[in-house]
Structures are given as C-alpha cells and as structure tokens.
Amino acid sequence: DTAVSQTPKYLVTQMGNDKSIKCEQNLGHDTMYWYKQDSKKFLKIMFSYNNKELIINETVPNRFSPKSPDKAHLNLHINSLELGDSAVYFCASSTPAGETQYFGPGTRLLVL
Amino acid sequence: GQQLNQSPQSMFIQEGEDVSMNCTSSSIFNTWLWYKQEPGEGPVLLIALYKAGELTSNGRLTAQFGITRKDSFLNISASIPSDVGIYFCAGRASGSARQLTFGSGTQLTVLP
C-alpha cells in the first residue's frame, strides 16, 4: 500500500491554465505539506496543514491555493499557470510533532 | 531563516569505497534527518536523529547529530551501484514547529 500518493505524476499544460494536484496519505498523520523542488533539486516548503488547518504558508504567489477536505487529503490548486511554475511538487505528511516527514512520489509540472 | 550548507554538491566514487557527506546550519537544530531521492521518486527517509551526539546506523549508513547541534554527517560504507541518488539533509530548528529546512543535496554516482 502506498503511504503518500499524488496524482497526476506528470502534468503538461499551457501558460494561463488552472490545474490541480491531489495528495492522499494513509498513514493516519495529522499534518500534511506541499513542497516545490526546482531544477537544481532544491526542496522548499510551500504550505503545511494540521488537521485541515493551515499552519505554514511560505511566501508563495496567491495563485497557489491549498485545500484540505479532511486530514488525509491535501490538494493544491494553481491558477493562471506561469512558465516559472514548472517544477516537481511533492506532498508529504507527518505526525503533529513533525519530527519525520514522509514524501509522495511527486508531480512533475511542465508549463509551456 | 535557517540555512543549511550541504557538501559536497556531487561525488563520483568507485564501487566499494566509503562515502562521507555533511551539513552545517546557521542555527541550532533539534532534529536532523537524512533522505535519499532516486530519479523520478520522492525523498525517502534514511535516518532520523533527535539528540546531540547521537550516532545511528541503518545498514551500511551511519549518521551523527553533531555535538554543537549545528551539523550532521552521513557516512555510507562499501558503496554499491544502488546507492546512486541525491542525498538530502534536513533539520528542524528550535521553535520552528513542523517546518523542516533542507540542504541542497549531494548527488552520488557510484562507478562499477
């Protein structure tokens, strides 16, 4: 069974479109995260939700909006996609203490 | 914010050699984690460290939480081809709740 899953794995879209990425975890964790990994492989936190509440919101354009329908799901919606949004987006989850985080397989977004 | 310096940036080694990499931070960390990312996958947790001076092994991998709480080391002994990947350190600073800061990664290539 996959612990943290994301869909889709690949996403190719045109500039200006709106797209969503979905994440689900079956680890029973309360906290979930979205990270962006750029072309240099640098991992940067974007958002964190604890039990459906936003707790970390780094400096991210407001075109990015996370939504957590329940504590096992954290989706990421991106409006008006730009070329610079091309990256790999990782979902992760952890226990409330956040001591260790478990990552999904990533969504490779390419904006043309 | 916290910064992590991870070195080396890349390594090319012969199969059977030992490998060392390290991370240093600009502030004191309470937790150090080491992840491995293989191509097309998300980071996978290798070792977690929670106390200064702690030395933990996972098979051929050994990691240490530095006494100053500002650094951590990962050693891989007798490397094999499947050790290839990017190794990331990550740390959680005191008072940062669930937020992890990631190093820039060490790209390891093992030559047969």
Looking at the complex, report in whole angstroms how far the Cα of residue B16 sits from the nearest Cα belonging to chain A.
27
Tokens of B14: 């012969």
> Per-residue confidence at B53, pLDDT binned at 50, 70, 90?
very high
The count of other CB atoms within 10 Å of the CB of residue B12 is: 9
Contact list in B for residue A8 (CB cut-off 8 A) is none
Mutation target for A interface from B98, B102, B104: give the one with most A CBs within 10 A. B98
- Of all residues in chain A, what percent carry a pLDDT higher than 90? 67
Q: How many CB pairs under 8 A join A and B?
A: 61
d(CA B108, CA B93): 27
Nearest-angstrom CA–CA distance, A31 and A97: 9
Helix (H, G, I), strand (E, B) or coil at B35: strand
Q: What is the pLDDT of residue B97?
A: 63
B86 vs A41: CB contact, 8 Å cut-off? Answer: yes
Contacts with A102 from chain B: Cβ below 8 Å: 45
